[in-house]
């Protein structure tokens, strides 16, 4: 099998830097593609956290002026990950997260910081970096969205890598004012409907969707949803136009990082045949989040960014009924300040019955999956979702809104599924307070039937949540595209 080289252009990657599921996906998929003959190299910005973790990196290229300062391209290896890191201190050497300053505000120059990521990705895709020339450039989310556009406008008829744009979340689109166009180094004609123009401004994700050879998103159901008026969030008609190039490929997880029988971050290891030690994790979790320690009470958990997408307000409104069933609720998350405060208020209102940790804590994330009995996911939309996959693997029963990837990955334990012995969780629809409440009542009723509960847990733990199947689909896509590697079409033909 000939090897295909793919440059993955991405703004975060686990274990170097993570704010959400994108990092998990970018960090875990490459290892599963290697056996398929696909060699992934990930291009990431040289944030402080990244530079501090890459050790002996080798400079392979210099960009004398990358949007206002010099930049070096460093080649590094971290575990199984082959990396190219953009060392550009004027853009990335800062405190805070990849996107926000320490006060939680977007960095004012994010448009430039991620245009730079995309411009470097495109330069590599055009063969301008002698040391490395990929067959495919795979851009993730709006931060890498300009990559296919730069490849198009800077190509001038040269051979270029094939391109894929993957949507992890259509809600974040990277919209910027039109006067940025010359600063971005894009030609005036790019300001057109079939260019980067988007509602009078410049749309980074739109640009990627316009120019990528193929588009993927992270679950089949979300691929359908984003082609609708509501789910399309302004990009639905473009996506409908390109439906033949759009594919939903379900995310998988790294089962070596998320393995309850080997997990060093939890209090007690367990597996499908020895579930009992979960109790120790439950007690430890209750202690950590300030809940009354009691293994007999049903403990429902939530771990998430605290945002509208995730339906945190739905959960908070449903709390009186949920707690009325006798259950406890543990919340781990950070995000919008008002939501963080609302979660804190709930803890004050229901001491010992609602517990929380506001912040980002990877270790606690593992303990929650290992100790909670059920995981609540009242998301209004969810492109894929990874926490329900971790939950399945950890015997934590997912209770999910039937949207996007949640709908594709959890089998509702209704009577029919139970008769077949295949239910793995609870689904509810639509994501409203009433529907979450009735789901909570179902969960509480199931919890009272230990044998049935155990069966649902075991079904979940047996579910294949690995990358194996999806890695093959990505590999097929890369193969298909490289068979069709092409020269940049003249502008006239595209218009």
Q: Which of 398, 392, 395, 425 is nearest to 411 (CA)?
A: 425
* CB of residue 46 to ligand ADP, shortest distance in Å: 22
d(CA 136, CA 478): 7
* CB of residue 475 to ligand GLC, shortest distance in Å: 18
Tokens of 180: 């940025």
The item of ligand GLC, ligand ADP, none sharing an interface with residue 365, based on CB under 5 to 8 Å by kind, is ligand ADP
| 415 touches 452 (CB < 8 A) | no
* Phi, then psi, of 248 in degrees rounded to 5: -100, 120
* CB of residue 386 to ligand GLC, shortest distance in Å: 5
Q: Which stretch binds ligand ADP (CB under 6 A): 298-306, 348-356, 434-442, 461-469?
A: 298-306
Find the helix or strand (DSSP H, E) in which 450 lies: helix 450-462
Judged by beta carbon, residue 147 or residue 369, the one nearer ligand ADP is 369
Handedness of CA 199, 204, 209, 212 (dihedral sign): positive
Which residue has 């291009």 as its token pair? Answer: 43
- The closest residue (CB) to ligand GLC is 21
Annotate 209-224 with b (16+ C-beta within 10 A) or e (fewer). bbbbbbbbbbbbbbbb
The item of ligand GLC, ligand ADP, none sharing an interface with residue 362, based on CB under 5 to 8 Å by kind, is ligand ADP
Instruction: Name which position in 332, 399, 413, 456 contacts ligand ADP (CB under 6 A).
Output: 332
* CB of residue 404 to ligand ADP, shortest distance in Å: 10
Tokens of 13: 């990657």
* CB of residue 364 to ligand ADP, shortest distance in Å: 6
50 binds ligand ADP (CB under 6 A): no
Q: Which of 326, 324, 331, 322 is nearest to 438 (CA)?
A: 322
* CB of residue 181 to ligand ADP, shortest distance in Å: 30
Site string for ligand ADP, 352-391 (x = CB under 6 A): --------xxx--x-------------------xxx----
Judged by beta carbon, residue 149 or residue 312, the one nearer ligand ADP is 312
Give SS3 for 486: coil
Q: What is the CA radius of gyration of the chain?
A: 23
265 binds ligand ADP (CB under 6 A): no
303 binds ligand ADP (CB under 6 A): yes
The item of ligand ADP, ligand GLC, none sharing an interface with residue 163, based on CB under 5 to 8 Å by kind, is none
The item of ligand GLC, ligand ADP, none sharing an interface with residue 332, based on CB under 5 to 8 Å by kind, is ligand ADP
Q: Which of 389, 434, 433 is nearest to 410 (CA)?
A: 389
305 binds ligand ADP (CB under 6 A): yes
Give SS3 for 6: strand
Q: Which stretch binds ligand ADP (CB under 6 A): 142-150, 299-307, 319-327, 413-421?
A: 299-307
* CB of residue 306 to ligand ADP, shortest distance in Å: 8
Per-residue CA distances from 171 to 9, 130, 206, 292, 405 (Å): 19, 36, 12, 38, 15
Q: Which residues bind to ligand GLC, rule: CB under 6 A?
A: 20-22, 25, 168-169, 218, 251, 382-386, 405
The item of ligand ADP, ligand GLC, none sharing an interface with residue 333, based on CB under 5 to 8 Å by kind, is ligand ADP
The item of ligand ADP, ligand GLC, none sharing an interface with residue 46, based on CB under 5 to 8 Å by kind, is none
Site string for ligand ADP, 3-32 (x = CB under 6 A): -----------------xxx-x--------
d(CA 158, CA 148): 14
Spatial CB neighbours of 221, under 8 Å, sequence gap ≥ 6: 248, 403, 404, 405, 407, 408
| 7 touches 124 (CB < 8 A) | yes
333 binds ligand ADP (CB under 6 A): yes
173 binds ligand ADP (CB under 6 A): no
* Residue 199 CB neighbour total at 10 angstroms: 10
Judged by beta carbon, residue 213 or residue 382, the one nearer ligand ADP is 382
Binding site for ligand ADP (CB under 6 A): 20-22, 24, 303-305, 332-334, 360-362, 365, 385-387
């Amino acid at each position: 099998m000939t090897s295909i080289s793919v440059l993955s252009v991405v703004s975060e990657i686990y274990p170097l830097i993570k704010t959400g599921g994108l990092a998990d996906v970018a960090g875990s998929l490459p290892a599963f593609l290697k056996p398929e003959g696909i060699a992934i190299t990930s291009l990431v910005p040289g944030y402080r956290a990244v530079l501090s973790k890459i050790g002996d990196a080798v400079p392979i290229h210099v960009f004398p002026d990358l949007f206002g300062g010099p930049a070096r391209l460093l080649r590094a290896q971290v575990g199984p990950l082959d990396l190219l890191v953009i060392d550009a201190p004027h853009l990335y050497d800062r405190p805070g997260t990849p996107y926000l300053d320490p006060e939680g505000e977007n960095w004012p120059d994010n448009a430039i910081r991620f245009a730079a990521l995309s411009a470097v990705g495109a330069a590599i895709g055009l063969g301008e970096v002698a040391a490395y020339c990929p067959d495919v450039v795979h851009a993730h989310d709006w931060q890498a969205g300009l990559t296919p556009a730069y490849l198009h406008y800077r190509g001038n008829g040269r051979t270029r890598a094939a391109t894929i744009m993957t949507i992890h979340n259509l809600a974040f689109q990277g919209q910027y004012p039109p006067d940025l166009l010359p600063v971005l180094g894009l030609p005036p004609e790019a300001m057109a409907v079939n260019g980067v123009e988007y509602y009078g401004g410049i749309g980074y994700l739109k640009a990627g969707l316009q120019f990528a050879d193929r588009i993927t998103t992270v679950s089949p159901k979300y691929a359908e949803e984003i082609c609708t008026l509501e789910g399309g969030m302004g990009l639905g008609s473009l996506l409908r136009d390109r439906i033949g190039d759009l594919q939903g490929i379900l995310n998988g997880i790294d089962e070596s990082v998320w393995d309850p029988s080997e997990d060093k971050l939890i209090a007690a290891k367990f597996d499908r045949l020895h579930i009992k030690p979960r109790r120790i994790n439950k007690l430890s979790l209750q202690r950590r989040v300030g809940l009354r320690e009691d293994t007999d009470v049903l403990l429902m958990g939530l771990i998430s960014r605290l945002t509208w997408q995730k339906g945190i307000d739905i959960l908070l409104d449903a709390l009186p009924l949920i707690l009325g069933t006798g259950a406890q609720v543990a919340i781990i998350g950070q995000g919008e300040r008002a939501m963080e405060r609302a979660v804190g208020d709930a803890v004050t209102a229901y001491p010992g019955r609602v517990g929380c940790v506001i912040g980002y804590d990877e270790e606690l994330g593992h303990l929650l999956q290992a100790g909670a009995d059920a995981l609540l996911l009242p998301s209004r939309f969810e492109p894929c979702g990874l926490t329900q996959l971790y939950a399945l693997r950890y015997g934590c029963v997912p209770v999910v809104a039937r949207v996007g990837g949640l709908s594709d990955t959890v089998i509702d334990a209704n009577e029919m599924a139970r008769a077949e012995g295949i239910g793995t969780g609870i689904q509810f629809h639509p994501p409203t307070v009433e529907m979450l409440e009735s789901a909570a009542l179902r969960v509480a009723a199931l919890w009272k039937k230990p044998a049935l509960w155990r069966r649902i847990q075991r079904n979940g733990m047996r579910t294949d949540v690995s990358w194996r199947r999806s890695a093959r689909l990505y590999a097929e896509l890369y193969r298909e595209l490289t068979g069709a590697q092409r020269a940049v079409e003249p502008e006239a033909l595209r218009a």
